[in-house]
Amino acid sequence: MIQKEMTDKLNKQLNIELFSSNLYLQISAWCKGKGLNGVSQFFKTHSNEEMNHMRRFFDYLSDSGSMPELEAVAKPLILASSLTELVKFSYEHEKMISEKINRLVHMAISLQDYSTFHFLQWFVSEQHEEEKVFKSILDKISLVNIEANGLFFIDRDLKNVTK
């Protein structure tokens, strides 16, 4: 049985993952509206991954005898007006998530909850990968002239990106 303090925080993270899934799904629609079908597909796939993250928290809580609690999800706001800004925005979002996962890890250690500590290790690696993916897209964008043909190449490239 997980301690209440830890359960509350895991449940909070479950709902943040749900928000992340909606955020990336909304971003995929934003991209499609601008004709960026490859980028749109990339973000749709990413949205599915976030939903899987949510389910991991859901199952862990449930399997540990705690009640997962789904909450109302905030409307996702996209604070970007170009592809570069959009990827930076997503990168910042992932860095924020990594910080939250790290705080959960700290809490699990301080409560001597080694089961939760072990569960969270997957997320520590996952966040490392996600930050790497968004950083690598930003690096690619900086290599091409995004205002000219670069947008076409980035769109084509992202269609095939999987983590």
Q: How many Å apart are CA 12 and CA 35, to the nearest integer? A: 35
2 or 97: whose CB is closer to ligand OFO? 97
Q: Provide the minimum distance between the beta carbon of 23 and ligand OFO in the complex, in angstroms, as a whole number.
A: 9
Give the shortest CB-84-to-ligand OFO separation in angstroms.
19
Question: Exposed (0-12), middle (13-18) or buried (19+): which is 70, by Cβ within 10 Å?
Answer: exposed
**Cα gap 3→8, rounded to integer Å:** 9
Place of tokens 């290599």: 143
Given the rule CB under 6 A, which residues bind ligand OFO?
17, 20, 50, 53, 94, 97, 126, 130
Closer of 52 and 115 to ligand OFO (Cβ): 52
Contact 95, 39 (CB under 8 A): no
CB of 35 to ligand OFO, least distance (A): 25
**Which CB sits closer to ligand OFO, 91 or 117?**
91
